[in-house]
A and B are shown apart, each in its own frame.
Chain A
């Protein structure tokens, strides 16, 4: 059985702004139908990565393709099948919702007017007044509706819900993902809010130091990054020399360490080497993010 080609395939991408190397060999491979959250600290290169993937910026090293096309030279067919919602509001703010929908719809042959109308109603996007009178959240909802109007196979969103309040965010993002998973679309959305990812995405990609630290199911990440509580009779400071220790705090005969590559064999190794009792603690995504960021 043939494996479908990835919707997004990036290999060892590098990109620098003058002397500031933002992407330093990122790999990312996203299969069709995947909903994946792109996580990383502010300024870690999430937006730059998306801009490279979409061919707005030219990667300086490596290779990148979207729906089978080279990112730098996307064919018309591929551009019809994808949609992008940028971080900043790029809507023409002197248009009304109706005018914007009318304007954008003219660009697409397969515009689904019914879907757009339903979403506008469902998400309570204002239908009167021009966009510059909208709140940031309302404008962001409208931008997403416009991106979904032609039912794209691949939807890329750069911090799509940052402007929404927590309650609206929860409801909105759940509906958004449900809608796309029903149709088997691929969704990549960047954020630095881990709760958004944990709530809706099965997969996560974490960018750290310009590289992909992890890409895969969230559960796998939780199994991999674990906090260990160690109690022993020997000096516990040498624990820091173990491979994969992201953080270590030793207080007397007790130590708390975060392991990036945890497995049972490591636990057994610590127990034997330090004559200690080891209690693993599974971390939430937010804790993992904080531990890795601080580490």
Chain B
């Protein structure tokens, strides 16, 4: 609950002899948490409304004849709560006995075994042994596929309603229902329809037991096999916080990590189940070079020397302008900054890019509105379905703003004419405009049109991939230097670089971490064939790696360390969750070594931290922002 209430308004109560102050309207559960007293819960969830059905959290409140559910009882001044009395202990014990009555106790084969609340609380509060034989249990259906992503085990369910309430309160889709009554109650989909939601992956996470499990994580690992790393989902520009759970060199699953400013603890299925792509076995595993005797595996130093030598030769013969530098929005901020520095200062070319879509006009106004601030806007205009397709979790934020915060959400269809939309936006207050990047001009026009008359209008544009925003911020673009300063002499956009390479005007290409859209572009192959020298840093084999004169093994986003910037401009850290299968330096060090081999001096170690310091010197807004903050851009920039 709101901890920001003034001290005079706080309610003082006593929990297990400790005096705590909480905001009025808080739950006893919150007060217990404040007091550092753990109360076991199954049905209660921080993001869901209380229902008090599991009866696990019952505590003693002085003056009340019976035990009270901590998850649904509001605090009152002078309340005395006791959680450690004999009555509470006995109640928990017998409550767990009831929950375990028909629970199959198949923990050894249950995916939740090891991180299950029923296991944990039984161990902590439950009866040491059962009074009932395991053969007397009533059985229900096991391994019922609710969709191709979620598997339901009906006999493990303890009927906490979390999944049902999640669908009611968080997504509004109401796909899961409780069927029948009393002891016959079962969780199932309505009329056995498969789940269609885009947010099913959250169900196994809110399920306190192993009733709902991920099909993609089924029997893949036990919790004690997993190494957990806090990182950022690599799927889209929304930048949800995730835990990357890795088993050996494989990502076993993505688990959500609550970041109230961005994801609000929910992930979309596209992001959550995007990890198999990162486990691909076909990788670029060693440096290679095209030599007189054909393509050969060479040492790292050899490959580096060849790459630097070839680029320098083209540079001295034809000038720096004959070299094109291509990055991608899969690079971290540090890599993007280093690459644009390498291109501009060492190679001396203005022709650099990371995206096939040209960006002639960009500014920090594109992401003035923060993701969490959507809830604070009185009215939110969403331009077409594209924003929610780019970042599915946005849908949940809009739903929350529309229901819990009672904000007006206007989903408008193309064409986005200012006059039509203006009619629908009524009254004063704060107006948010959420648009896909391709509609940024319409969004900015709308911003100008809606501002004024007691209204403030801000825009949030959503982008394609994980670090699309960061690559713009850091000037991996022909027309823009780091920090949205215009380049004095703009170079060619990426498609023009490819065309120029095909035409022979660009003699050398440096391609780093080519993204899927670039790999799919038919011009890339022709461009790589047209250029004399192609230095490629790639994680996966493809068009770029096949046509490289010098190839260096790159890393995937879960193998990198650094920062990425999400659509709202928040700088967040990605950490190395999986060690790569080869013993070669990171992409960042490759770029640093390449610069040094070409005679450049970075003035810092090519590591994420020192390079971030350099970058923050060039882009003052980024200073001190790597702790998950949004840089403050000057509005005039």
A binds B: no
